[in-house]
Amino acid sequence: MRKLLLLLTAVFFAANAAQAKTVDARASYLWSSSKNQATASLLVAPTYNTQVGIAARYVKDMQKYSFGRLKDPIYSVYVPMLLQFELLDLELTPFYYFKHNAENPAYQDAYAYGVTAALTMLMENDQVNDIYTRARLGASYARQQGTLFTKEAAPENTDYDQVAYFLQLSHSMFQAYRLEAMGAAFQYPDGITGVTAWRGVMNQQDLVALQTLDITRDLRKYALGGRFVRTWAESGSALYVGYSFTENYTADPDHSFIIGNSFPLVKNVFLDLAYNHIETTSHKNKRDIFYVGLGTNF
């Protein structure tokens, strides 16, 4: 029933795309030594102040975890919705991870579903000097089926709830520079004391965009990050650098450094290239991630 509903939703959006005032289509590929990810999305604007879309994601995870490997590919879908007003935007993005078979018969199959909601407010709008400041405040909820590992007990097949809260600030000056800052905190209603690992399929980035390209399923405490963006409005190009720090419950803390460049290839077609280096505070785990994205709107 869930798969049928998602298919009907996709058909609905595709059917309305031809009538939409704006269509934004994107595809991207991300790869590292242990994970590959492909994403495709379609966003349409059926009216002046609304946008609706659908996105699908494929992840191949080759990493060796304490509980084994996630042998099969991981599939997920997203339905972003945006309502825009003069001074604020409202966002809602439900998502669903299809069931992933467990290679070890002691562990149950894993899946996840959840939703992210956010409110973006225009806090400063100096049109004379071309300066604006926006704040994006939001919360996310997810429920996962998987296997929980703790210090004192045997692995437990269970459902596990998770909540995240985030604040993102963006300050733009002269159509040329943009400063961004982000903070997020994570909460576990089912308890986190003594948890050492979680076998699940959900990428924590689905709850909060953490200024990194990393695909991680480790359970997080909090994250802080920032980004500097140099833009060229006349060409639509941008160069960006960023850093984020994440404290985790089930892994060492992470430092993430990112650099990227987006620019137009031809009219209404844009390319985004990025490199992300991540390492733990102990320097024992280092990861290099590469990203290429292609987008068009009409």
Residues 107-121: pLDDT tens digits?
999 999 999 999 999
- Short-list 234, 231, 221, 214, CA closest to 185: 221
Q: What is the pLDDT of residues 173-202, one digit of tens each?
A: 888 999 999 999 999 999 999 999 999 999
Q: Are 231 and 177 in contact (CB under 8 A)?
A: yes
**Is the pLDDT at 141 greater than 90, yes or no?**
yes
pLDDT tens digits, one per residue of 64-77: 888 888 989 999 99
46: confidence class by pLDDT, cuts 50, 70, 90: confident
**Tell me: the pLDDT tens digits for 89-106?**
999 999 999 999 988 888
Residue 75 is encoded by which pair of tokens? Answer: 């599939």
Q: Report the pLDDT averaged over residues 263-274.
A: 93
Does residue 3 surpass a pLDDT of 80? no
Instruction: Report, as an integer, the average pLDDT of 261-273.
Output: 93
C-alpha–C-alpha distance, residues 110 and 201, integer Å: 6
Give residue limits of the domains in the chain.
2-297
DSSP state string for 158-218: EEEEEEEEEEEEEEEETTTEEEEEEEEEEE-TT--TTEEEEE----GGGT---SS-----S
Say what the pTM is. 0.89
pLDDT (tens digit, 9 = 90+) per residue, 56-65? 999 999 998 8
Ranking 42-46, 78-82, 109-113, 179-183 by mean pLDDT, the lowest is: 42-46
pLDDT at 229 over 90: yes
User: What is the SS3 assignment for 235?
Assistant: coil
Residue 33 in this model has a pLDDT that exceeds 60: yes
Percent of all residues in the chain with a pLDDT value above 90, rounded to a whole number: 71
The fold of 2-297 is Porin (2.40.160)
With bands split at pLDDT 50, 70 and 90, how would you rate the model's confidence at 20? Answer: low
